[in-house]
C-alpha cells in the first residue's frame, strides 16, 4: 500500500465568480482554485471588467487558442497590464527601453527564425550536456542552505535556492559571462514582473521603471560586446539574420535576451518554490521522494499541472471568432488561464489530487503548446529535478516551518509563494 503522498489539497467550495474578478488580489493569488472551477463550469469565456480581458479557462479552448496562432496572435503578451504613468514612461524612454517583436510577443515572419535559435540553445541535447554544471551549481547553493540551517535553524527556499539557481543556470547555459551579483539580477527581473504584470501605484511605477531601465541598459551593453564566446546566445544573436537578410538590431537582440532572462528566472524559480511547498506540506510526500529520488520527475509534472508558475498568458483575436460559445470581435484581448486548464476534470480526473502516476502526466499546458511553446521547458524541468533530488537526499528531515498558506505573489502572469520557510526536524530553533 502506497503512503499518503498525494492527499487532496483543501480548497473552498466553488462559488460563482463575481462580476469583477480581481485577478491581482493577493487572496485570489493564494487560493484561486474555486474561482477557476466556477469559471470553467459556468463562464468558460468570461469578460473581466477590471483588466478588460476575456478569461479563457477550459483546457480545450485554451489549447485551441495556442494551436491557432494566425487567429489568436501574441502581440500583446508583453504589454503592461496596469497603465504606466508619465513619470515611469519618461524613465523608460530615457533608457531607450523598447521590446520590439522577438520571441513571446512576435506573430511576424521573424518569429520562426528567432524561435529556432532559442530552441537550439535550449534543446534537450544542450540541457543534457549542461547537467554536470547544473548539478554543481545546485550543490553549491544547497551547501549555502545547509550552512544557514546550521547557523539559524531556519531558511527560506524562496530567498535562497529558488532565487540563485535559476539565474546562475540560465546565464551559464546561454554562455553569458556575468559581471553582476545574483541579487542585482534578481531585483531586475522581479521589477520587470511587477511593472508589466502587476498593479504598482504611480510612485512604485517610477521606482520600478528606474530598475528596469538599469536592467535594459546592462542588456544593451551585453549584446554589443565583442568578446562573445562561441556557442553562446550572444554569438547566435550576432550571426542571426532576419527574413530579409538583415542582422538583428541592438533593441531586438536586447529584447530576446530580456525575455529569456526574465522567463528563465521566473518560471524555474517559482516552479521550485511550489515544488518544495507541495512536497513539504503533503503528508509523507517529502519522505516518499527521499526513499526513491526517481519519483521526482513525475512529482514535478504534477506540480506543474496544479501550480503552473506561468499562470496565464495573453492573446489578441485577429479576426471575428467564436470561442467557448462566445462570439469575439477582432481586437478582443484574451487571458488564457493556464493553471485552470490543469484542473479541468474533462482532462484530469480528480484534479485536486497530486497523482504522479497519471497516464497523461505531461498533458498539462504549463509550458504552452504549439509554435509559441516555452523554449526553456526542458531546462526548467532539469533544474527542478536537480534541486529536488539533491535536496531530498541531503535533507531527508526537512520540514515546513511556515503557516499553512503563505502569502503569494499577486501577478497577472506569474504565481508562487513569496516565502517557503523550512527547518530540519530536531534541528536548532530560530
**Among candidate residues 355, 359, 375, the one with its CA nearest the CA of residue 367:** 375
Distance of CA 395 to the CA centre of its chain: 26
State whether the Cα torsion 19-23-26-28 is positive or negative. Answer: positive
C-alpha cell at 167: 539565474
Query: Are the C-beta atoms of 79 and 313 separated by less than 8 Å?
Result: no
Q: pLDDT digit of tens for each residue in the chain (430 aa)? A: 243 444 444 444 445 455 567 899 988 999 999 999 999 999 999 999 999 999 999 999 999 999 999 999 999 988 999 999 999 999 999 999 988 888 888 888 888 899 898 888 888 888 999 999 999 999 999 999 999 999 999 999 999 999 999 999 988 888 887 667 888 999 999 999 999 999 999 999 999 999 999 999 999 988 888 887 888 888 888 899 999 999 998 989 999 889 888 888 889 999 999 999 999 998 899 999 999 999 999 999 999 999 999 999 999 999 999 999 999 999 999 999 999 999 999 999 999 999 999 999 999 999 999 988 888 899 999 999 999 999 999 999 999 999 988 999 989 999 999 999 999 986 554 4
Rounded Cα distance, 73 and 55, in Å: 16
Task: Output the pTM of the full model.
Answer: 0.92
Rounded Cα distance, 135 and 182, in Å: 18
Rounded Cα distance, 299 and 275, in Å: 8
Q: Which residues partner with 48 through β-bridges?
A: 53
Phi/psi region, residue 230 (left: phi>0; alpha: psi -120 to 50; beta: rest), is beta
| Exposure string for 64-101, b = 16+ CB within 10 A, e = fewer | bbbeebebbbbbbbbebbbebeeebbebbeebebebbb
Rounded Cα distance, 281 and 102, in Å: 39
What is the set of domains in the chain, with CATH numbers? 26-424 (1.10.630.10)
Q: Which residue has the cell 511587477?
A: 194
Query: Are the C-beta atoms of 339 and 274 separated by less than 8 Å?
Result: no
Q: Is 156 helix (H, G, I), strand (E, B) or coil?
A: strand
Amino acid at each position: 500500500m502506497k503512503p499518503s503522498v498525494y492527499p487532496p489539497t483543501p480548497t473552498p467550495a466553488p462559488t460563482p465568480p463575481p462580476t469583477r474578478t480581481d485577478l491581482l488580489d493577493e487572496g485570489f493569488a493564494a487560493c484561486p482554485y474555486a474561482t477557476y472551477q466556477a469559471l470553467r463550469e459556468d463562464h468558460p469565456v468570461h469578460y473581466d471588467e477590471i483588466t478588460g480581458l476575456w478569461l479563457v479557462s477550459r483546457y480545450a479552448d485554451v489549447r485551441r487558442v495556442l494551436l491557432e496562432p494566425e487567429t489568436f496572435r501574441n502581440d500583446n503578451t508583453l504589454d503592461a497590464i496596469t497603465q504606466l504613468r508619465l513619470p515611469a514612461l519618461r524613465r523608460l524612454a530615457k533608457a531607450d527601453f523598447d521590446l520590439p517583436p522577438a520571441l513571446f510577443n512576435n506573430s511576424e515572419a521573424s518569429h520562426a527564425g528567432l524561435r529556432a535559435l532559442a530552441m537550439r540553445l535550449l534543446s534537450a541535447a544542450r540541457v543534457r550536456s549542461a547537467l554536470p554544471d547544473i548539478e554543481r551549481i545546485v550543490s553549491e547553493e544547497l551547501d549555502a542552505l545547509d550552512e544557514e540551517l546550521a547557523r539559524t535553524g531556519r531558511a527560506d527556499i524562496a530567498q535562497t535556492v529558488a532565487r540563485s539557481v535559476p539565474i546562475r543556470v540560465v546565464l551559464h547555459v546561454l554562455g553569458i559571462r556575468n559581471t553582476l551579483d545574483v541579487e542585482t539580477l534578481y531585483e531586475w527581473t522581479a521589477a520587470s514582473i511587477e511593472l508589466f504584470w502587476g498593479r504598482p501605484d504611480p510612485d512604485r511605477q517610477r521606482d520600478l521603471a528606474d530598475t528596469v531601465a538599469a536592467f535594459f541598459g546592462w542588456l544593451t551593453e551585453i549584446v554589443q560586446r565583442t568578446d562573445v564566446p562561441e556557442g553562446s546566445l550572444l554569438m547566435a544573436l550576432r550571426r542571426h539574420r532576419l527574413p530579409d537578410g538583415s542582422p538583428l538590431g541592438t533593441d531586438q537582440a536586447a529584447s530576446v535576451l530580456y525575455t529569456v532572462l526574465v522567463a528563465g528566472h521566473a518560471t524555474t524559480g517559482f516552479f521550485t518554490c511550489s515544488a518544495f511547498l507541495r512536497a513539504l506540506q503533503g503528508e509523507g510526500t517529502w519522505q516518499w521522494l527521499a526513499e526513491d529520488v526517481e519519483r521526482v520527475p513525475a512529482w514535478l509534472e504534477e506540480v506543474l499541472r496544479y501550480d503552473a508558475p506561468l499562470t496565464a498568458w495573453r492573446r489578441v483575436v485577429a479576426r471575428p471568432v467564436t470561442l467557448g460559445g462566445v462570439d469575439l470581435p477582432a481586437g478582443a484581448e484574451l487571458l488564457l488561464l493556464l493553471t485552470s486548464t490543469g484542473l479541468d476534470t474533462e482532462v484530469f480526473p480528480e484534479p485536486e489530487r497530486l497523482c504522479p502516476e497519471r497516464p497523461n502526466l505531461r498533458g498539462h499546458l504549463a509550458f504552452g503548446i504549439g509554435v509559441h511553446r516555452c523554449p526553456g521547458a526542458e531546462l526548467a524541468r532539469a533544474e527542478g529535478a536537480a534541486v529536488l533530488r539533491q535536496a531530498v537526499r541531503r535533507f531527508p528531515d526537512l520540514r515546513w516551518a511556515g503557516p499553512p498558506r503563505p502569502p503569494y505573489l499577486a501577478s497577472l502572469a506569474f504565481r508562487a509563494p513569496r516565502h517557503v520557510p523550512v527547518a530540519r526536524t530536531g534541528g536548532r530553533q530560530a
